[in-house]
Amino acid sequence: MNTLLSTFSKTLTAASFTLGLATSAQASTPTAPRSPIQIEAKVAMCIGCHGIHGYQSSFPEVHKVPKISGQSAKYISNALLAYQKDERKHPTMKSIAASLTEQDITEIAAYYEKHGTELSKPVPETAPEAPAHVKSLLEKGGCIACHGANFNKPLDSSYPKIAGQYADYLYVALKSYKTEGNSKVGRNNAIMAGQVKNFTNTELRAIANYISTLPGDLKTIPQSRLR
């Protein structure tokens, strides 16, 4: 009997060890990259808003949804993660971001960074001269230090390209850094919050209007929903 129990114990230990190795190997195996068709299936949830020229959001604030084709992947990833963590408040975007895995976010961001690049034209290294009153506002905010002299080549890819972005979206985005205690609107970013609080909303609108006129990589590319 003792011999039988000993044999059973050894067999169980060996099986557990083998299972442990298999589980460990499975956990350490990186997720296989998905095919373009699989990635586009995830992107399909984005095109209903971001794939329509001039499509306007009516909730929680009225503005055109931003151009994201040609935006940096790192910035898009960070933005989606911020919606997941409620560091950016927007009910629709929070719901969409919550449904995404880390791999989804990485692949969607990479997709949009390259999306439409074949349509891009060279962008000047410096932006056209701003009106005097806007120029003084940009200097006051130190905007070039992060977003680049042409507002299309940020100092770091975690900062957004903003040249040519829709003016009303830029205004709402800037204003949101000043918003506190609102469950549906607001963004947590210490640097941006510190900057925009030095401006009136009228001044923020003037900045947004100027930057929206600049040449840049950002685009809205119409895409069929029936693919």
Q: Where are the domains of the chain?
A: 36-212
**pLDDT value at residue 225:** 53
Query: Which DSSP letter does residue 118 get?
Result: G
Fold classification of 36-212 is: Cytochrome Bc1 Complex; Chain D, domain 2 (1.10.760)
Q: What would the mean pLDDT of 30-44 be, rounded to a whole number? A: 77
pTM: 0.83
Please state, rounded to an integer, the average pLDDT across all residues of the chain.
87
69: buried, middle or exposed (CB in 10 Å: 19+, 13-18, 0-12)? buried
Band (pLDDT 50/70/90 cuts) for residue 186 is very high
Band (pLDDT 50/70/90 cuts) for residue 23 is very low
Centre a 10 Å sphere on the Cβ of residue 51 and count the other Cβ atoms it contains: 20
**pLDDT value at residue 223:** 74
**pLDDT value at residue 41:** 82
Which residues contact residue 46 at a Cβ distance below 8 angstroms, ignoring those fewer than 6 apart? 68, 96, 108, 112
In angstroms, how far is the first alpha carbon of the chain from the final one?
67
